[in-house]
Amino acid sequence: MVAGGLNCGYDLKTREKQSIGYWQLVRGNRSFRYLWSGQIISLTGDWFNLIASAALVATLTQSGAAVGGLFVVRMLAPFLVSPFAGVVADRANRKAIVISTDVLRCFVVLGFLLVRSPEHVWVIYMLTAVQSASQGFYFPAWNSILPDITRREELGIANALSSATWSTMLAFGAALGGLASGVVGYYPAFVIDAFTFLLSALILWRMPYDSPLQRDGDRSIMAGVRQYLDGLGYLRRHIDTFSIAIHKGVLGLLVIGFYQVIQVTIAEQYFPIGEGGSISLGLIYVMSGIGSGVGPILGRNFARDRDRELRLMIAFGYVCALAGFIISATLISLPVILIGALLRGIGGGLIWVLGTQLLLQIVPNQVRGRVFSTEFALYTLFAAISSGATGILIDTAMGISGVLMLGCGLLVIPIMLWTLWIQYGRRELAPGGGSVA
């Protein structure tokens, strides 16, 4: 079944091709080319902002709990808007959503320039909340656009390429952000971030896109509430879909939210290079980005679009993340920390990207926005809880090594549960009734 919106800038003579490469996709699909280009520009600035804001809070407060609080805000704000974001993504023009959120974030991040002393740290939290809330609308809409502008045989390769781009820009943007923050200070990074959001919006404005969503005559708030509840009902009726969507929540709780606070403290207190350890932090993000880019590419080359193989690679992702935590817990040297970050990135990338691939294959278009917003809500909620708890634990007698070993023990649980589901769980069917296996 061909998704709606495929005529957007597309060469119809290529429809008979059943196997394409990355270059063929970018060259042949104009809509994806614009979507991908906007992603590259926007993500570069995102990592500038993350490195600069985290290092600035660490420098001004000298508190693990304060850094944890920053990540709590980053994660909790998208969770709070997720009930509305999913409905909006399934009712409004998705292209308009991503452009609007880019423009909003352009102006919001300029407010970080006001933070000059510890008394102004609350401004960082407030602006981060607005910026992150807008991301809660951006990501469900962006993910939902991807199947709208690609054919089924292109979807896997498009998802892999966009995910690899996220990871590549994590490495590139974090390296530049860490270097800029460590050499010339935090504030130029905020200006660069604002400019990238504006440039991304201009690129996406030119993207050919015809929304495949049918207009619902009832646009009332209560109709939106009913749509949101219908989306939750869909997940309740489709347990396999929920078991896949929950992976990002587990990833946020036990891997990303957990480690993103720890790595700031490691860079700032154990192996500081640059102002506030910003260069060290940038290097850790670089290795995580390399891992989260390489892992999904290799994983998809093994799994392709086959259901069972995709699920097995997700389980392998948890094992890689566990290995990364064990290595990092030694705190022997910065190179050892970087190896641990690489393995953690490989594991997190496999879980995130291949989980998204499974959802893209089995979730129908009319509920896709709500499923992705619920998935993102679970991720942000659990990552917020994890970030706050980790920041508090770091300030106790447990220390970094103790907290990391606690994380190692907890990661065994999803490995066991997901392996059991692979063996005995019931599979969903792709839209149209065809098996995805």
Q: What is the structure's pLDDT at 29?
A: 85
Instruction: Tell me which of 246 and 210 has the higher pLDDT.
Output: 246
pLDDT recorded at residue 153: 76
pLDDT of residue 317: 94
Q: What is the pLDDT of residue 14?
A: 41
> Rounded mean pLDDT of 60-88?
78
> Among 245-254, 300-309, 410-419, which is the least confidently predicted range?
300-309
Distance CA 394, CA 40 (A): 34
Query: What is this structure's pTM?
Result: 0.69
Structure token digits, residue 430:
């792709």
Query: In angstroms, how far apart are the furthest CA atoms of the chain?
Result: 65
Closest among 247, 223, 205, 227 to 349, alpha carbons compared: 247
Contact between residue 259 and residue 320 where contact means Cβ atoms under 8 Å apart:
no
Distances (CA, A) of 337 to 57, 200, 243: 22, 33, 32
> pLDDT band for position 6 (50/70/90)?
very low
Q: How far apart are the first and last CA of the chain?
A: 16
pLDDT at 217 (0 to 100): 53
φ, ψ of residue 98 to 5 degrees: the values are: -70, -35
Mean pLDDT of the chain: 80
pLDDT at residue number 15: 39
Cα angle 8, 12, 16 (rounded to 5 degrees) comes to 130
Rounded to whole angstroms, the Cα distance separating 36 from 34 reads 5
User: Which residues, at least 6 apart from 2, have a Cβ–Cβ distance to it below 8 Å?
Assistant: 151, 152
Half-sphere exposure in the Cβ direction for 60 (13 Å, CA): 20
Backbone φ and ψ for 435, nearest 5 degrees, come out as -75, 140
What percent of the chain clears pLDDT 90, i.e. is strictly above it? 15
Res 43 pLDDT > 80: no
Identify the helix (H) or strand (E) that includes residue 274. none
Q: Each residue of 130-173: pLDDT tens digit?
A: 988 888 888 888 878 888 888 877 877 887 787 777 767 766 76
Q: From CA 98, how far away is CA 48, in angstroms rounded?
A: 20
Q: Report which DSSP code applies to 436.
A: -
DSSP for 68-129 reads HHHHHHHHHHHHHHHHHHHHHHHHS-HHHHHHHHHHHHHHHHGGGGG--SGGGHHHHHHHHH
Does the pLDDT value for residue 9 go beyond 70?
A: no
Exposure on the CB side of residue 370, measured as CA atoms within 13 A: 21
d(CA 64, CA 386): 13
Give the residue extent of every domain in the chain: 27-208+220-424
User: What are the Cα distances from residue 279, in Å, to 74, 276, 322, 337, 359?
Assistant: 22, 8, 25, 14, 36
Q: Per mean pLDDT, which of 64-73, 261-270, 308-317 is the most reliable? A: 308-317
Q: Is 331 left (phi over 0), alpha (psi -120 to 50) or beta?
A: left
- Binned at pLDDT 50, 70 and 90, residue 184 comes out as low
**Cα(392)–Cα(382) distance, integer angstroms:** 16
What confidence category does residue 213 fall into, taking pLDDT thresholds of 50, 70 and 90?
A: low
Q: Residue 429: beta bridge partners?
A: 435
Q: Which CATH superfamily is domain 27-208+220-424 in?
A: MFS general substrate transporter like domains (1.20.1250.20)
